[in-house]
Amino acid sequence: MQLIKGEYNIEELIKFVHSIYLATNGAYPLLEWVDEKPSPNDFKTFEKIYAPFLKERLEKEFDEIYIWRSKEIIGTGALVYKFEGKDIPWIPSLPSKAGFIEFLMVSPQHQGKGYGKKFLFFLIHRLHQLAKDAYVVTSPFIDAYFFYKKNGFKDVLRYEKFVLMKYEGLHTQNF
Protein backbone atom coordinates (compact mmCIF):
# COMPACT_ATOMS: atom_id res chain seq x y z
CA MET A 1 0.00 0.00 0.00
CA GLN A 2 1.19 3.46 -0.71
CA LEU A 3 0.08 7.01 -0.08
CA ILE A 4 0.38 9.19 -3.16
CA LYS A 5 0.23 12.98 -3.02
CA GLY A 6 -1.34 14.89 -5.87
CA GLU A 7 -1.71 12.08 -8.42
CA TYR A 8 -5.20 11.06 -9.39
CA ASN A 9 -7.42 9.89 -12.21
CA ILE A 10 -10.73 11.76 -12.07
CA GLU A 11 -12.73 8.89 -13.61
CA GLU A 12 -11.34 6.50 -11.00
CA LEU A 13 -12.14 9.00 -8.23
CA ILE A 14 -15.74 9.36 -9.43
CA LYS A 15 -16.17 5.58 -9.39
CA PHE A 16 -14.61 5.48 -5.91
CA VAL A 17 -16.95 8.18 -4.57
CA HIS A 18 -19.90 6.43 -6.19
CA SER A 19 -18.96 3.25 -4.30
CA ILE A 20 -19.33 5.27 -1.08
CA TYR A 21 -22.65 6.69 -2.30
CA LEU A 22 -23.87 3.17 -3.08
CA ALA A 23 -22.65 1.74 0.26
CA THR A 24 -24.38 4.54 2.22
CA ASN A 25 -27.58 4.19 0.17
CA GLY A 26 -27.19 7.74 -1.11
CA ALA A 27 -26.45 9.38 2.26
CA TYR A 28 -22.91 10.43 1.34
CA PRO A 29 -21.79 12.46 -0.45
CA LEU A 30 -24.60 14.78 0.56
CA LEU A 31 -25.19 16.32 -2.89
CA GLU A 32 -26.97 19.13 -1.03
CA TRP A 33 -26.99 21.40 -4.09
CA VAL A 34 -29.08 18.94 -6.13
CA ASP A 35 -32.88 19.22 -6.18
CA GLU A 36 -33.31 15.49 -6.68
CA LYS A 37 -30.54 13.09 -5.73
CA PRO A 38 -29.99 10.16 -8.09
CA SER A 39 -30.74 6.62 -7.06
CA PRO A 40 -27.61 4.99 -5.59
CA ASN A 41 -27.78 2.42 -8.42
CA ASP A 42 -27.80 5.12 -11.13
CA PHE A 43 -24.09 5.66 -11.80
CA LYS A 44 -24.59 7.66 -15.01
CA THR A 45 -26.75 10.32 -13.30
CA PHE A 46 -24.42 10.39 -10.29
CA GLU A 47 -21.45 10.89 -12.60
CA LYS A 48 -23.22 13.67 -14.53
CA ILE A 49 -23.93 15.53 -11.26
CA TYR A 50 -20.74 14.77 -9.35
CA ALA A 51 -18.03 14.98 -12.04
CA PRO A 52 -18.16 18.79 -12.56
CA PHE A 53 -18.32 19.34 -8.80
CA LEU A 54 -15.29 17.12 -8.17
CA LYS A 55 -13.35 18.68 -11.04
CA GLU A 56 -13.96 22.14 -9.56
CA ARG A 57 -12.79 21.00 -6.12
CA LEU A 58 -9.67 19.34 -7.50
CA GLU A 59 -8.70 22.36 -9.60
CA LYS A 60 -9.74 25.28 -7.39
CA GLU A 61 -10.33 24.21 -3.81
CA PHE A 62 -7.99 21.48 -2.58
CA ASP A 63 -4.46 22.59 -1.71
CA GLU A 64 -3.25 19.01 -1.28
CA ILE A 65 -4.90 15.71 -2.18
CA TYR A 66 -3.78 12.27 -1.08
CA ILE A 67 -4.80 8.91 -2.51
CA TRP A 68 -4.08 5.82 -0.44
CA ARG A 69 -4.03 2.73 -2.59
CA SER A 70 -2.92 -0.80 -3.08
CA LYS A 71 -4.18 -1.99 -6.48
CA GLU A 72 -7.30 0.14 -6.07
CA ILE A 73 -8.13 3.19 -3.97
CA ILE A 74 -8.36 2.47 -0.25
CA GLY A 75 -9.04 6.05 0.74
CA THR A 76 -8.85 9.70 -0.19
CA GLY A 77 -8.18 12.86 1.76
CA ALA A 78 -7.63 16.49 0.90
CA LEU A 79 -6.48 19.60 2.72
CA VAL A 80 -7.66 23.17 2.27
CA TYR A 81 -5.59 25.85 3.99
CA LYS A 82 -5.09 28.65 1.45
CA PHE A 83 -8.33 30.61 1.36
CA GLU A 84 -7.51 33.81 -0.50
CA GLY A 85 -9.50 34.02 -3.73
CA LYS A 86 -11.52 30.88 -2.97
CA ASP A 87 -15.29 30.86 -2.62
CA ILE A 88 -16.10 27.76 -0.60
CA PRO A 89 -19.64 28.22 0.74
CA TRP A 90 -19.54 25.37 3.27
CA ILE A 91 -16.38 26.69 4.94
CA PRO A 92 -17.11 29.68 7.18
CA SER A 93 -14.65 32.51 7.68
CA LEU A 94 -12.00 31.52 10.24
CA PRO A 95 -8.59 32.62 11.50
CA SER A 96 -5.60 32.20 9.19
CA LYS A 97 -4.41 29.25 11.33
CA ALA A 98 -7.38 27.17 10.14
CA GLY A 99 -6.87 24.20 7.87
CA PHE A 100 -9.63 21.88 6.67
CA ILE A 101 -9.67 18.16 6.15
CA GLU A 102 -11.92 17.44 3.20
CA PHE A 103 -12.78 14.51 0.95
CA LEU A 104 -11.83 11.95 3.64
CA MET A 105 -13.32 8.66 2.50
CA VAL A 106 -12.45 5.00 2.83
CA SER A 107 -13.66 2.37 0.38
CA PRO A 108 -16.56 0.28 1.70
CA GLN A 109 -14.49 -2.94 1.68
CA HIS A 110 -11.81 -1.30 3.86
CA GLN A 111 -14.08 0.40 6.40
CA GLY A 112 -14.00 -0.74 10.01
CA LYS A 113 -10.33 -1.78 9.81
CA GLY A 114 -8.67 1.39 11.13
CA TYR A 115 -7.76 2.92 7.76
CA GLY A 116 -9.97 5.98 8.26
CA LYS A 117 -8.52 6.76 11.67
CA LYS A 118 -4.97 6.28 10.44
CA PHE A 119 -5.59 8.53 7.43
CA LEU A 120 -7.34 11.15 9.58
CA PHE A 121 -4.36 11.39 11.93
CA PHE A 122 -1.98 11.62 8.97
CA LEU A 123 -3.96 14.63 7.69
CA ILE A 124 -4.09 16.25 11.16
CA HIS A 125 -0.33 15.77 11.46
CA ARG A 126 0.20 17.33 8.02
CA LEU A 127 -1.86 20.39 9.04
CA HIS A 128 0.19 20.69 12.24
CA GLN A 129 3.35 20.64 10.10
CA LEU A 130 1.87 23.64 8.28
CA ALA A 131 1.12 25.36 11.65
CA LYS A 132 -2.62 24.98 11.04
CA ASP A 133 -5.43 23.94 13.36
CA ALA A 134 -7.42 21.01 11.97
CA TYR A 135 -11.11 21.55 11.18
CA VAL A 136 -13.77 19.56 9.35
CA VAL A 137 -17.18 20.47 8.05
CA THR A 138 -19.73 17.68 7.99
CA SER A 139 -23.38 16.92 8.48
CA PRO A 140 -24.51 15.97 11.98
CA PHE A 141 -26.78 13.37 10.34
CA ILE A 142 -24.16 11.06 8.84
CA ASP A 143 -21.74 8.53 10.34
CA ALA A 144 -18.73 10.77 9.62
CA TYR A 145 -19.90 13.19 12.33
CA PHE A 146 -19.64 10.50 15.01
CA PHE A 147 -16.31 9.29 13.59
CA TYR A 148 -14.84 12.78 14.01
CA LYS A 149 -16.27 13.15 17.53
CA LYS A 150 -14.77 9.79 18.54
CA ASN A 151 -11.39 10.93 17.23
CA GLY A 152 -10.99 14.23 19.08
CA PHE A 153 -13.10 16.75 17.15
CA LYS A 154 -15.48 19.07 18.99
CA ASP A 155 -18.41 21.05 17.61
CA VAL A 156 -17.58 24.72 17.07
CA LEU A 157 -20.50 26.01 15.04
CA ARG A 158 -23.68 24.75 13.42
CA TYR A 159 -24.93 26.48 10.31
CA GLU A 160 -27.38 25.54 7.59
CA LYS A 161 -27.13 21.73 7.20
CA PHE A 162 -23.57 21.56 8.48
CA VAL A 163 -21.48 21.47 11.63
CA LEU A 164 -17.98 22.91 11.90
CA MET A 165 -15.70 20.82 14.11
CA LYS A 166 -12.18 21.49 15.40
CA TYR A 167 -9.62 18.90 16.43
CA GLU A 168 -9.04 19.23 20.17
CA GLY A 169 -7.01 16.06 20.65
CA LEU A 170 -3.73 16.19 22.48
CA HIS A 171 -1.55 14.47 19.92
CA THR A 172 -1.51 12.87 16.51
CA GLN A 173 -0.65 9.32 15.75
CA ASN A 174 1.99 8.20 13.29
CA PHE A 175 0.77 7.27 9.83
State pLDDT tens for residues 25-48: 999 998 988 889 999 999 999 999
Range of the domain at 101: 2-167
- How many domains does the chain fold into? 1
Within a domain: 127: yes
Considering only residues 83 and 171, tell me which one the structure prediction assigns the higher pLDDT. Answer: 83
Measure the CA–CA gap between 144 and 27, rounded to whole angstroms.
11
Residue 49 vs residues 27, 35, 36: alpha-carbon distances, Å: 15, 11, 10
State pLDDT tens for residues 128-159: 999 999 999 999 988 999 999 999 999 999 98
Q: Is the pLDDT of residue 173 over 80?
A: no
CB-based burial of residue 168 (10 Å sphere; 0-12 exposed, 13-18 middle, 19+ buried)? exposed
Measure the CA–CA gap between 151 and 122, rounded to whole angstroms.
13
Residue 16 vs residues 11, 56, 64: alpha-carbon distances, Å: 9, 17, 18
Within a domain: 57: yes
Within a domain: 56: yes
Q: What is the CATH number of the domain that holds 113?
A: 3.40.630.30
Measure the CA–CA gap between 150 and 117, rounded to whole angstroms.
10
Within a domain: 172: no
Task: Record the pTM.
Answer: 0.91
Q: State CA 116 to chain mean position distance.
A: 11
Within a domain: 174: no
Within a domain: 173: no
